[in-house]
Copies of this chain bind each other. A is one copy, B any other.
Amino acid sequence: MALIVMKFGGTSVADVARIKSVAARVKREVEAGNQVAVVVSAMAGATNQLVAWAREASPLHDAREYDVVVASGEQVTVGLLAIALQDLGISARSWLGWQLPVRTTGAHGSARIEGIETATLLHRLGEGQVAVVAGFQGLGPDNRVTTLGRGGSDTSAVALAAALKADRCDIYTDVEGVYTADPRIVARARKIARITYEEMLELASQGAKVLQTRSVELAMNHAVRVQVLSSFTDAPGTLVVDEDEIVEKAVVSGITYSSDEARLTLRNVADRPGIAAQVFGGLAEANVNVDMIVQSSSTDGRSTDMTFTVGRADLPRALDVLQGLRGEVGYASVSSDDNVVKVSVIGVGMRSHAGVAQSMFRALADKGINIQTISTSEIKISVLIAAEYTELAVRALHTAYGLDAA
C-alpha cells in the first residue's frame, strides 16, 4: 500500500465526461489498495475566461480580488470530481485551499506555499477517503484567498506530496511524459524514461512547458518522486528522480527553446567600474529580470558594448528604465530585438564530458545559424538566435547529440 498524490491539469478535467474518466483512473489506484489525494486544476479555458473578466473589470485590478475571482475555477472541479468519485462508489470529499488550509505568503497572484495542515487529511486518507484538493489556491496570512500563479497546481501537488510524505506524485497531463524535444517540432523526439531533478529544472525554466519550474524545485528539495504521464493513455510516463537513481547518464538529455525573450544592446557604454551595477540595479528596481548578459571587452579602453536579454513582456519597461539611466550611464545608443529565441541543450552528463558546447556551435554553424549570445551553467548551454531558425536549430541539435529515435 502506498500513499500517492495524483494531479490532473485543465485538459484532463475540461468537461464532465473527462472528469468521470479521471474518477475512473483514481478508482483504479484506490482499488489497488493505495491511499489517494487528488489535486485538480480548473477546467481548460475557465481560468482564461476568469482572467479576461478581471481585466475587463479593471486593467489595474486588485490582486487580492483577482485571486478571489480566478480561484473559483478549481472550486468547480473539486466538487464535480468528488461527486463523480462518489458515483463510482468511492468515498471522497473536496478540500478548498482555505479549508485544509494551504497556508501561503500574502503575495497575491504569485503566492508561495508555506505549509499545509495534514493531520485531518491523513486521518481521512487512513479511513480510505479520497481527498480532492483544489490546486493553485491557498489562504494568505490575512485570511484571504491567494493563488500561486500560472501552472500553480503542479506546485500544489508536489507541496501536498511533500507534506503528506507521499510515496509518489503523479502529474497527469495531455502529453505522455517529458520528451528529448518538443514533438511538434522534432518528429523523432523520444520520451525520456527517467530524468534528474536538475535536468528537469533546467528544462522547465528554459521553456519546456510540461512542469512548472517551482514545482520541480520543491520536488528536488523534498525528494518527492514525480512522475509525468498522460491522462488519456496508459503509457508509462517520465520519472523525475535523484541523480543516483540513474545509472546511464546521457550527456545531453533534452533540447528546449523559449520564445519569451528580447535582446537589448547598449552601445559605447563607458568602461568604468560600477556601470553594470547602475544598469542592472535600475532594471532590478523596476522588477525586470535579466537573463543572459554579455559585455564585449573594450577595444579602446574607454567604452564597451553591453548585451543582455529580458522577458519579452518586460521589454517596454526595460527600455523606459534604460532611457531614464542614459544621462547617468552615458551610452551612445540602445537597440532591441524581440524576434529572437533561446535554444538550450541540457544534460547532467555535461559535467564529465568535454566538447559539448563545441558540438553545439558546430551543428548550428553547419546550418548557417548565427549565435548572438551564449550562456552556460553546469548542466546547460543556451544560445540566443534569430527566431526564424528555431525549428531548424532544435532539429539539428537533436540529431547532433544522437537523440533521434531509431
Complex interface: chain B residues within 8 A of A62 (CB): 82-83, 86
Flag if A68 contacts B72 (CB, 8 Å): no
Contacts of A20 in B (CB 8 A): 57
- Tell me whether A221 is interfacial, beta carbon within 8 Å: no
Q: Binary interface profile of A, 70-95, with partner B (CB < 8 Å = 1, else 0)?
A: 01110110111111101100000110
Given the contacts A57-B20, A57-B87, A76 and B69 also touching, CB distance less than 8 Å:
yes
A248 close to chain B: CB less than 8 A: no
Chain B residue contacts of A362, Cβ below 8 A: none
CA separation between A266 and B56, bound complex, in Å?
60
Which residue of B is nearest A64, CB measured? B93
Please tell me if the beta carbons of A83 and B54 are within 8 angstroms of each other in the complex: yes
> Which listed residue (B81, B86, B99) contacts A143, Cβ 8 A?
B99
- Asked if B76 and A53 make an inter-chain contact with CB atoms under 8 angstroms apart, the answer reads yes
A65 at the interface (CB under 8 A from B): yes
CB-defined contacts of A19 to chain B, threshold 8 Å: 57
Q: CB-CB contacts of A86-116 with B at 8 A, as 1s and 0s?
A: 1100000110101100000000000000000
CA A53 – CA B77 in complex, angstroms?
A: 10
Residue from A20, A56, A66, A79 having most chain B Cβ neighbours under 10 A: A79
Residues of chain B with a CB closer than 8 A to A66's CB: 79, 83
Establish whether residues A68 and B96, one from each chain, have CB atoms under 8 Å apart when the complex forms. Answer: yes
Q: Taking the complex as formed, is A335 at the interface, i.e. its CB lies under 8 A from any CB of chain B?
A: no
Q: How far is the CA of A384 from the CA of B145 in the complex (A)?
A: 51
Residue of B nearest to A75 (CB): B72
A58 within 8 Å of B (CB atoms): yes
Do B75 and A54 have beta carbons less than 8 Å apart?
A: no
* Residues of B contacting A73 in the complex (Cβ-Cβ under 8 angstroms): 72
> For the complex, what is the distance from the CA of A325 to the CA of B264, rounded to whole Å?
86
Give Cα distance in the complex from A276 to B202, angstroms: 78
Report if A50 contacts B (CB, 8 A). Answer: yes
Assembled-state Cα–Cα distance A322/B19 (Å): 40
Contact, CB under 8 Å: A68 / B61: no
In the complex, which residues of chain B have a beta carbon less than 8 angstroms from the beta carbon of A86? 58, 61-62, 65
User: A1 at interface (Cβ–Cβ under 8 A)?
Assistant: no
Instruction: Determine whether the beta carbon of B79 is less than 8 Å from that of A65.
Output: yes
Residue A16 is within 8 A (CB to CB) of chain B in the complex: yes
Which one of A16, A19, A57, A81 has the greatest number of beta carbons of chain B within 10 Å?
A: A57
Q: Please tell me if the beta carbons of A57 and B96 are within 8 angstroms of each other in the complex.
A: no
* Per-position binary interface string of chain A over residues 30-42, scored 1 when its CB falls under 8 Å from any chain B CB and 0 otherwise: 0000000000000
Contacting residue for A68 out of B50, B69, B78, CB 8 A: B78
Interface centre among A67, A78, A83, A86 (most CB of B within 10 A): A83
**Which chain B residues lie closer than 8 Å to A64 at the CB level?**
93
- CB-defined contacts of A247 to chain B, threshold 8 Å: none
